[in-house]
Amino acid sequence: MKKVRIMPCLDMKDGRVVKGVHFVDLQDAGDPVEIAKAYNDNGADELAFLDIAATIENRKTTLEVVRKISEVISIPFTVGGGIGSVEDAKMVLSAGADRVSLSSAAFRRPDLINKLSETFGSDKVVVAIDVDINDTMPSGYEVFVDGGNTATGKDAVEWAIEAERRGAGYLLPTSKARDGAKNGYDIPLLMGIKERTTLPVIASGGAGKMEHFLEAVEEGKADILLAASVFHFGEIKIDELKRYLNDHGVETP
């Protein structure tokens, strides 16, 4: 049986969990520490915390919130947003994170991936890749940075290949077109990355019903299934999702 892990994602802005559509129109979803504890207690296998405004506002991830969350959970915890150096990563890991996630900083200074992998080990390094559809790219997808606001002219799959070569341990592609739309993960994007890399891939952006999670595993070959709003607003319960996946031949912890 294919084994996958379920990863709720806390997108953070101004100290609160928020969720938007296509990276905009943000809605408040609650207190991050309370939500993190609830996910930990209700069967989540991992947790992601992304300070989505940190890079745009040119500041560091909120370490105090990271510390508070780490005190109330016992599952692997990935933190991203505003991590631009080995020292930044060290502070986040010291605050209780198990992994760090980089997007804009990794793209602008790819050698940072090498340095983090060499310093902490590749298992601690997640490279997040925000993309949008661009038919002029070889894969059909272009990398975007700065919270999905800035086009880079770089092909998404080629960047995923380079990230692996430089020492990334995980890849986290998010389709801007699918984010928050609840019409399913971008399966061709997942397939394109899985076919050209060997790393675990975290599916992100677009889950709206249980069938979408199954598609990401069966067709997209995803290893970890990340979602936000369907979990935050109670549209899908994690225990029910796990039962559904198990019933369809997908093993979860």
Q: How far is the C-alpha of 101 from the C-alpha of 156, rounded, in Å? A: 17
Q: Kindly name the residue from 45, 51, 130, 132 that is annotated as catalytic.
A: 130
Structural domain range at position 46: 2-248
Residues of the chain with pLDDT under 70: 13-30, 52-61, 179-181
Residue 22 has what pLDDT?
43
**What integer pLDDT is reported at residue 180 of this predicted model?**
63
Q: Break the chain down into helix, strand, coil percent, rounded to 5.
A: 35, 30, 35
d(CA 206, CA 179): 5
Q: Pick from 117, 199, 128: which is nearest to 161 by CA?
A: 199
Q: Which amino acid is at 206?
A: G
Neighbouring residues of 79: CB distance < 8 A, sequence distance ≥ 6? 48, 49, 50, 51, 61, 66, 92, 95, 97, 99, 100, 101
Q: Give the CATH number, domain containing residue 71.
A: 3.20.20.70
Q: Is residue 138 part of a domain?
A: yes
Active site residue 11: yes
Catalytic residue among 11, 45, 179, 223: 11
In a domain, 153, yes or no: yes
In a domain, 213, yes or no: yes
The answer to whether position 179 is within a domain reads yes
130 is catalytic: yes
Evaluate whether residue 84 is within a structural domain. Answer: yes
Provide the domain count of the chain: 1
pLDDT digit string (tens) for 12-48? 766 556 544 444 444 455 688 888 999 999 999 999 9
Is 144 part of a structural domain of the chain?
Answer: yes
Examine residue 253 and state whether it is found in any structural domain, yes or no: no
Query: 74 in a domain, yes or no?
Result: yes
Q: What pLDDT does residue 55 have?
A: 46
